[in-house]
Amino acid sequence: MSRMTRRTTAALAACLTGVLALAACGGGSSFDEGSGSGGSQPAASGPVTIKFMITSNGPADIKLQQDTVKPWEDKTGNKVEVIAASDRNQQLTQGFAAGSPPDLFFTEASSFPTYAKAGNLAPYGDQLPMKSDFYDGLVQTFTYDGKFYCAPKDFSTLALVINTDLWQQAGLGTGDIPKNWSALETVAQKLTTDKVKGLVIGDTRDRVGAFMKQAGGWIVSPDQTRMTADTATNLAGLTEVQKLLASGSASYPKGVDAGWGGEALGQGKAAMTIEGNWIKGAIKADYPNLKWQAVELPAGPAGKGTLSFTECYGVAAASKNQAAAIDLVKYLSTPEPAMALATGLGVMPSLRSAAAAYKGAFPNDAAFIAGAEYAQGPVTVAGMDPVLKDFDTQLASLPGGDPKAMLARLQKNGEAVFK
């Protein structure tokens, strides 16, 4: 995902997943005997072997996936060959071109519209019996041309992450947790010293964009059919970030010689940062002595707002095992396996029905999962990636730049994509 720094990209890639499917039935008894068809490929007869491509940080991730699919294998008689991608996008592109992609594969939100537009994905999402159990924003992320293509496996959201030692040293307590922009400005100032910034925030749309959402704006319309960038609400969001940066109480990571907000927090260069729940793994690995707390992001003029990051289970349109792949997705999209994967990967299950179990297992993550109900998903418009990367480049100069001009440029460039 272009929104992640190098470190958080790796963390998030380990977290997320994607699948797509359709067609006739693969052999073996099914978890849902009514798994529909609709793909153009002929069905394989008898038990089948599904090639399942994942992104992985190592053998532990592969074993986790293998262990999670084993009950489905045992029940259906089908087999799952878990393949760790070395370069997922390149391998998928080559597989699509050759007509031999994996049956099932993790699909990034940023890549999804390109694959869907090209006809590489089977749009099976509307067949899923648990469709209404997925968070609405995640379903919207993987809807293209009016069709819900693929099941979101898991997701992450942004929250305000606080160094509680620095918080207490500044004389702040529970009652000082910022609920709005004004309060955020106040506590950021109180937490700022000669050596510490009150807030460090990433310099791309995937952090700054949360303020646009809190102001009531976003880059594209809810149905992602038109640009809505050059608006007063988006300007209010960028102006608030610019105000924080100009006050000296906030900084981009590079301003404190850090690669991302989690590093700044862990090294004591930031008292607060805005990051996703992938920060847990980084803190555990690199800053085990850090005491921290995550709270919901402060509300803006339009109310609460955060961003979500996710992948889906993609099934290849060219797969002859679409029905079996869909059936596997149906199994994985139930609370028990979803929780197992979320626990092992450090992400959150995409099912509302798993939220209570997740909060019970990870009470410190309550702020992250609370954001699921109002999170804004990424822009998933085919051909928009270069436009968004250009906007990120513009945002890097926000401290001294012209936010109005940035939004006007984003609007113009984005409209050219829609034409």
409 and 296 part of one domain: yes
Predicted confidence at residue 284, as pLDDT, reads 92
330 and 414 part of one domain: no
Predicted confidence at residue 36, as pLDDT, reads 36
Identity of residue 244: L
Q: What is the mean pLDDT of residues 345-359?
A: 94
Provide the token pair at 190.
């109180």
Is the CB of residue 203 less than 8 Å from the CB of residue 398? Answer: yes
- Does some domain include residue 363? yes
- Does some domain include residue 1? no
CA distances, 139 to each of 16, 163, 348 (Å) = 15, 34, 15
Is the CB of residue 267 less than 8 Å from the CB of residue 195? Answer: no
Provide the token pair at 364.
């410190």
140 and 167 part of one domain: no
- Does some domain include residue 315? yes
Q: Is the pTM of this model over 0.85?
A: yes
45 and 109 part of one domain: yes
Query: Could you read off the pLDDT of 70-102 as tens digits, one per residue?
Result: 999 999 999 999 999 999 999 999 999 999 999
273 and 361 part of one domain: no
- How far, in Å, CA of 140 to CA of 113, rounded? 12
- How far, in Å, CA of 322 to CA of 93, rounded? 19
Q: What is the mean pLDDT of residues 357-374?
A: 94
- Does some domain include residue 280? yes
- How far, in Å, CA of 236 to CA of 241, rounded? 9
257 and 400 part of one domain: yes
pLDDT band at 11 (very low <50, low <70, confident <90, very high): very low
CA distances, 22 to each of 36, 38, 93, 115, 322 (Å) = 7, 6, 20, 15, 4
Residue 339 region by backbone torsions, left for phi larger than 0, else alpha for psi between -120 and 50, else beta: alpha
| Token pair 């994509």 in the structure block, residue | 417
391 and 254 part of one domain: yes
- Does some domain include residue 240? yes
Domain holding 188, by residue range, is 157-307+380-418
CATH number of the domain that 249 lies in?
3.40.190.10
pLDDT at 41 over 70: no
Residue 231 region by backbone torsions, left for phi larger than 0, else alpha for psi between -120 and 50, else beta: beta
250 and 347 part of one domain: no
384 and 395 part of one domain: yes
Mean pLDDT, the chain, rounded, equals: 90
The tally of domains found in the chain comes to 2
- How far, in Å, CA of 383 to CA of 399, rounded? 28
- Does some domain include residue 245? yes
pLDDT at 22 over 70: no
Query: Could you read off the pLDDT of 144-188 as tens digits, one per residue?
Result: 999 999 999 999 999 999 999 999 999 999 999 999 999 999 999
C-alpha neighbours within 13 Å on the C-beta side of residue 174: 0
- How far, in Å, CA of 160 to CA of 411, rounded? 29
Is the CB of residue 48 less than 8 Å from the CB of residue 26? Answer: yes
Predicted confidence at residue 57, as pLDDT, reads 86
- Does some domain include residue 352? yes
Predicted confidence at residue 45, as pLDDT, reads 56
Q: Which residues pair with 49 in a beta bridge?
A: 79
Predicted confidence at residue 10, as pLDDT, reads 37
Predicted confidence at residue 27, as pLDDT, reads 33
Burial pattern 395-413, b for ≥16 Cβ within 10 A else e, equals beebbeeebeebbebbbeb
Is the CB of residue 364 less than 8 Å from the CB of residue 294? Answer: yes
What are the two backbone dihedrals, phi and then psi, of residue 36, each rounded to the nearest 5 degrees? Answer: -75, 175
Q: What is the mean pLDDT of residues 237-251?
A: 98
268 and 284 part of one domain: yes
What are the two backbone dihedrals, phi and then psi, of residue 264, each rounded to the nearest 5 degrees? Answer: -60, -40
Predicted confidence at residue 33, as pLDDT, reads 33
Is the CB of residue 169 less than 8 Å from the CB of residue 271? Answer: no
Q: Which residues pair with 375 in a beta bridge?
A: 306
152 by DSSP, 3-state: which? strand
Query: Could you read off the pLDDT of 268-314 as tens digits, one per residue?
Result: 999 999 999 999 999 999 999 999 999 999 999 999 999 999 999 99
- Does some domain include residue 26? yes
204 and 252 part of one domain: yes
Q: What is the mean pLDDT of residues 103-125?
A: 95
pLDDT at 17 over 50: no
151 and 49 part of one domain: yes
| Token pair 């045992």 in the structure block, residue | 74
pLDDT at 34 over 70: no
